């Protein structure tokens, strides 16, 4: 199945030009029709255009024909200044339209705002440059996103050794931990009770990860969830001063304080392999015998040709 894909650049500009070129070529070779290519050439400081230009890419979805997929080109930083500039009332049309907005990293901030202010469910998944344009295209990343877009019900399964049995249902949501924490308590943060929260991050040392998770506890967010699913936490370092304190210990400490199951091993984050997951739709998490399974439905899907 092929799709009309519109590129958006809500964050940083694409500094890796060969990766962008590979991503475009791979998507077009697969039969997809790309628009919004002009955003690839925009530069303003470290951003892919001015705040007004980048917000305009999103507000352009309010009127006129919609693509099947809206794909972020990369993350970095840049979404936060756009949040007050978005037409949330107009963007409510995306809540019922057959269009999927996909991205991760800084894109998580946009996902939070769209669900909180417009009721729009989005997808955490691959982006143009880092994933579709990788020097070596990851097969699971490529296959899973198209599986999710084409399926009424989708799932992901992974190994999570040592995890006690879990069987919970709730709203699946999450993404980059730093982005989630930065918006907690703001009008752009969704109120999700009894959810299944998934998180990931990059280059954050264990104490900072623990501090961010404690912030979600203190803000009353984490303790209201039914489970926390741990994705990839990559490119971090521990110091001599940590004295044996590492990321697994940090998670153990927070899990004891939160009082909810923590399930590790989800292939999602800043690594080369990532599944595509909903932000705001219903699902079920099951863990048995050290193997986890997340099943979901009601996620955004393009129309069937």
Q: What per-residue confidence (pLDDT) applies to 183?
A: 98
Q: Based on the residue annotation, tell me whether 200 is a catalytic residue of this protein.
A: yes
> In this predicted model, what pLDDT tens digit does every residue of 37-76 receive, in sequence order?
999 999 999 999 999 999 999 999 999 999 999 999 999 9
Alpha-carbon distance of 151 to 36, in angstroms, equals 26
Residue 253: exposure state from Cβ atoms within 10 A (0-12, 13-18, ≥19): middle
Looking at the DSSP bridge assignments, the partners of residue 12 are 47
Cα→Cα distances 162→46, 76, 289, Å: 43, 34, 8
Q: What per-residue confidence (pLDDT) applies to 305?
A: 60
Angle at 109 between CA 103 and CA 111, to 5 degrees: 60
Cα→Cα distances 53→103, 160, 164, 189, 279, Å: 19, 43, 48, 23, 25
Catalytic member of 118, 200, 210, 299 = 200
Catalytic member of 80, 104, 144, 270 = 270
> In this predicted model, what pLDDT tens digit does every residue of 93-117 receive, in sequence order?
999 999 999 999 999 999 999 999 9
Q: What per-residue confidence (pLDDT) applies to 126?
A: 98
Exposed e or buried b for every residue in 256-286, given b needs 16+ CB within 10 A?
eebebbbbbbbbbbbbbebbbbbbbbbbbbb
Backbone phi and psi for residue 101, each to the nearest 5 degrees, phi listed first = -95, 125
Q: Are 102 and 73 in contact (CB under 8 A)?
A: no
Q: What per-residue confidence (pLDDT) applies to 75?
A: 97
User: Which three-class secondary structure string do you get for 160-207?
Assistant: CCCCCCEEEEEEEEEEEHHHHHHHCCCCCCCCCCCCEEEEEEECCCHH
Exposed e or buried b for every residue in 77-115, given b needs 16+ CB within 10 A?
ebbbebbeebbbeebbebeebebbbbbbbbbbbbbbbbb
Catalytic member of 105, 118, 130, 182 = 105
Q: Are 11 and 74 in contact (CB under 8 A)?
A: yes
Is a pLDDT exceeding 70 seen at residue 221?
yes
Q: Based on the residue annotation, tell me whether 28 is a catalytic residue of this protein.
A: no
Token pair of 81, please? 């200044």
> In this predicted model, what pLDDT tens digit does every residue of 153-196 receive, in sequence order?
999 999 999 999 999 999 999 999 999 999 999 999 999 999 99
Residue 124, classed as helix, strand or coil, is strand
Is a pLDDT exceeding 90 seen at residue 279?
yes
What is the pLDDT confidence band of residue 145, given thresholds at 50, 70 and 90?
Answer: very high
Q: Based on the residue annotation, tell me whether 11 is a catalytic residue of this protein.
A: no
């Amino acid at each position: 199945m092929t799709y009309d894909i519109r590129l958006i650049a809500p964050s940083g500009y694409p500094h890796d030009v060969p990766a962008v070129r590979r991503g475009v070529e791979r998507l077009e070779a697969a039969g997809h029709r790309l628009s919004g290519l002009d955003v690839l050439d925009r530069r303003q400081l470290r951003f892919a255009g001015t705040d007004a230009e980048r917000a305009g890419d999103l507000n352009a979805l309010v009127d006129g024909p919609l693509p099947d997929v809206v794909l972020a080109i990369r993350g970095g930083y840049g979404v936060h200044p756009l949040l007050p500039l978005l037409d949330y009332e107009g963007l409510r049309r995306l809540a019922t339209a057959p269009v999927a907005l996909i991205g991760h990293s800084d894109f998580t901030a946009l996902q939070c705002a769209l669900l909180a202010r417009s009721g729009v469910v989005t997808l955490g998944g691959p982006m143009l440059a880092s994933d579709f344009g990788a020097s070596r295209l990851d097969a699971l990343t490529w296959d899973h996103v198209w599986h999710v877009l084409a399926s009424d019900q989708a799932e992901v399964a992974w190994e999570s050794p040592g995890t006690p049995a879990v069987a919970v249902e709730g709203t699946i949501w999450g993404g980059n931990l730093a982005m989630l924490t930065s918006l907690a308590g703001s009008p752009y943060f969704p109120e999700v009770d009894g959810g299944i929260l998934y998180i990931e991050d990059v280059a954050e040392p264990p104490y900072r990860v623990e501090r961010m998770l404690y912030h979600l506890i203190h803000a009353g967010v984490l303790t209201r969830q039914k489970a926390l699913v741990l994705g990839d936490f990559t490119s971090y370092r521990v110091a001599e001063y940590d004295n044996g304190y590492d990321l697994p210990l940090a998670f153990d400490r927070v899990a004891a304080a939160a009082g909810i199951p923590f399930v590790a091993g989800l292939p999602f984050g800043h690594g080369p392999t990532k599944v595509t997951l909903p932000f705001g739709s219903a699902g079920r998490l099951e863990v048995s015998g050290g193997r986890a399974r997340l099943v979901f439905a009601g996620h955004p899907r393009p129309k069937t040709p």
